[in-house]
Amino acid sequence: MQLDPPAKRKLRPLPSVDMALLPEDVRHRRMRRMLVGGLLAALLLGAVLVWASQSLLPQTWEWVRALFVESEELSAAPTTQAILPANEDVGPPLPETMDPSSLAAARLRPNARYTTEFGRAPSFRQALLNAGLGAEECNQVEQGLQHVVDFRRCRPEHKLVISRDENGALEHFEYHPSQTEFVELKRDDAGRFRAEQISIQVERTPVARAGSVETSIGDGLKAIGLPDGLAVFFVEAFEGRINFALHARKGDVFRIVVDEERVEGHLLRYGRVHAIEYNGQHTGKVRAFFYDDGKSVPQFYDETGRAMQGGWLRTPLRYERLSSRFDPRRFHPILKRVVPHLGVDYAASTGTPVWAAGDGVVKFAGRKGPNGNLVVIRHGGAETFYAHLHRIKPGIRPGKRVRQRELIGFVGSTGRSTGPHLHFGLKKKGRFVDPAGELNGPGLKMSAAELPAYKEQIATWIETLDSIEDAPDLVEGADEPLVEPVDEVMD
């Protein structure tokens, strides 16, 4: 019996792609939509706020200030201020400086001329508004300076000088970033502001002084009217011949020839040191002369033309004072136990440049526990350590070759430190030694071709050193060491 073939069964259709999502998928999709929408809303709101802060608010504030203040008299007499250089010397005064309450009244005052500081303004435009300029005047000034002044480098102490004509319109603008140069804006025939960079002539006059050492070279320099910071040139120049920490004595005599720099008769600073001499009971008389042949690195040489600096620097920075010496048995006054101080601490301002003490290869550069930011350089069989740096120069990394006096970082107070200083350590044959006890070797002699020009130049400085009037005499036989500086634990 033949069976009928089975009837074809209908296949069940596949689920529709439009079927409802699972609850978890619904939540995920809803969350994504909320995140994207919130981000777009935040961007839009930020753009509106930026536009309002740059456009509406300054103009509204200016209108309110002008409405209430322009009709008032100046509330106080203007004061004269000078731009002060970093070394406390007083420079030439700028025009009268207006206090903030008087700026709005002076903004449209005929023939007004006043000076104000850049201050803590967040932008150059805001500094102009604070100085009493209107919105359109700000546009003109910024347009005139845009290819001349880097607005990102403005500092609070920089000066703005504003001058107005007989109608109260802005006639003249000056931006003073320093005492020796400024940018001037003047209107051309078409009424547009044109910028011109102006350098102020600096008068340089060599001055020669002599003094004696009682407590330090720095104090001796201050006693004869010179900055104590010039003492670092003696340390740098003679570090291969003299260890001042061990060899200096009361009654030693020094001489110096240095440029006095003035602007319009006002003392600006002391510049290049041309010649120095140290005459000590334990050192004898030594002299050094600064020379720049335009080809090699400018440096100090002795009278024969040999460089004063040799294999490596014992002091790799220009420091303010020695705050702590090498002492493997130092009793720590805070920790109340013996903590070896295996280096020398040089106190200096944050940001002071730190140089490589000699040619070598960077072994370590980075953060390391109590050392803070640390750089270690290998010099053949020796290693030098530079600790507590504020920051390490970009590019200084393990394996990089560095040259003597190459910048490697900046003084700071990172790690276990109570103040800005450089902890400088020296390791030889696997053990730390006192850097102050390691004298520099002899430097290289300049080329025979350059020697005649050098001899001719230093002849003038030798005569100047020998002709200093009222120079004190060396006290022979006193042999009294200088006052031992107080050890300041800075680690």
The whole-number pLDDT of residue 88 equals: 37
Looking at the fold, whether 342 and 486 belong to one and the same domain comes out as no
Which pLDDT score is estimated for 451?
93
Residue 23 lies in a domain: no
Residue 116 belongs to some domain of the structure:
yes
Residues 397 and 303 in one domain: no
Which of 400, 420, 438 is the last residue in one of the domains?
Answer: 438
212 and 122 in one domain? no
pTM listed for this prediction:
0.58
Check residue 362 and give its pLDDT.
Answer: 96
Note the pLDDT tens digit of each residue in 373-412. Answer: 999 999 888 899 999 999 999 999 999 999 888 999 999 9
Residue 358 DSSP symbol: B
Residue 57 lies in a domain: no
3-state secondary structure 122-188: CCHHHHHHHCCCCHHHHHHHHHHHCCCCCHHHCCCCCEEEEEECCCCCEEEEEEECCCCEEEEEEEC
CATH of the domain at 452: 3.10.450.350
What tokens were used for 92?
């030439």
Residue ranges for the chain with pLDDT beneath 70: 1-26, 50-108, 311, 332-335, 437, 439-442, 477-478, 483-491
Q: Which domain holds residue 112?
A: 100-199
Answer with the one of 199, 220, 248 that is the final residue of a domain.
199
In the numeric block, which tokens belong to residue 349? Answer: 């301002």
Q: Same domain, yes or no, for 320 and 406?
A: yes
What integer pLDDT is reported at residue 99 of this predicted model?
56
Q: Residue 264 — left, alpha, or beta (φ > 0 → left; ψ -120 to 50 → alpha)?
A: left
Residue 121: is it exposed, middle or buried by C-beta count within 10 angstroms (0-12/13-18/19+)? middle
pLDDT given for residue 67 in this prediction: 40
Q: Is residue 298 in a domain? A: yes
Looking at the structure of the chain, the number of domains it has is 3
- Same domain, residue pair 450 and 304: yes
Other Cβ atoms less than 10 A from the Cβ of 360: the count is 22
**pLDDT at residue 297, as a whole number:** 73
Task: Let me know if residue 56 belongs to a domain.
Answer: no
Domain-located, residue 79 = no
Asked if 326 and 434 sit in the same domain, the reply is yes
Comparing CA positions, the residue from 361, 365, 358 lying closest to residue 378 is 361
pLDDT for the residue 159:
92
**Domain-embedded: residue 127:** yes
Give yes or no: residues 120 and 186 share one domain. Answer: yes
Q: Is residue 352 part of a domain?
A: yes
Predicted pLDDT at 489: 63
Report the pLDDT value the prediction gives residue 89, as an integer from 0 to 100: 39
